[in-house]
Structure 1
Amino acid sequence: MSGTSHTSPLVEIMTALRERVMGVHDLVLSTGDGLLVAADAATVHPESIAALSAATLSLGQRLAHEANGGTLRDVTTRCAGRHVLIQAVGDRALLTVLGDEGLDLALLHLHMPATVDQLVRILDHDTPSQAS
Structure 2
Amino acid sequence: MNGLVPGATALPRRVRQPDSLPPPERLPPSLAGNRSLPYAAINTELAELRLQIPGVTGCVLGGVDGLLITHTMPNGAHPDDLAALAASTFGLGRQIGLSLGQGAFQQSTVRNSAGYLSVYAVNGQALLAVVGEDAVNVARLHLHAPGVAERLADLLVGF
Which TM class, normalised by the smaller chain length? 0.7 to 0.9
1:96 aligns with 2:110: no
Quote the Cα distance in structure 2 between the aligned partners of 1:122 and 1:26. 20
Quote the Cα distance in structure 2 between the aligned partners of 1:112 and 1:36. 19
Question: Which amino acid is the alignment partner of residue 55 of structure 2?
Answer: G
Quote the Cα distance in structure 1 between the aligned partners of 2:90 and 2:77. 18
Q: Return the match for 1:59 from 71, 89, 92.
A: 92
Partner of 2:66: 34
> Alignment partner of 2:127: what SS?
strand
Measured after TM superposition, the shift of residue 11 of structure 1 is 0.9
1:124 aligns with 2:157: yes
Q: Return the match for 1:14 from 15, 22, 46.
A: 46
Number of residue equivalences:
121
1:46 aligns with 2:73: no
Between structures 1 and 2, the one with greater helix share: 1
Quote the Cα distance in structure 1 between the aligned partners of 2:138 and 2:48. 16
TM-score of the superposition, structure 1-length normalised?
0.85
> Alignment partner of 1:124: what SS?
coil
1:24 aligns with 2:56: yes
Deviations 1:7-63 (A, max 9, x none): 221111000001001211010001110111110001521111111210121111101
Measured after TM superposition, the shift of residue 67 of structure 1 is 2.5
Question: Which amino acid is the alignment partner of residue 66 of structure 1?
Answer: S
Deviations 1:55-113 (A, max 9, x none): 12111110122133333321110001010000110111000000011111111111122
Structure 1: tracts of 5 or more residues without a match: 1-5, 128-132
Structure 2: tracts of 5 or more residues without a match: 1-34
Partner of 1:3: none
> Alignment partner of 1:116: what SS?
helix
TM-score of the superposition, structure 2-length normalised?
0.71
Question: Which amino acid is the alignment partner of residue 110 of structure 2?
Answer: T
Q: Larger Rg: 1 or 2? A: 2
Between structures 1 and 2, the one with greater strand share: 1
Q: Return the match for 1:114 from 139, 147, 155.
A: 147
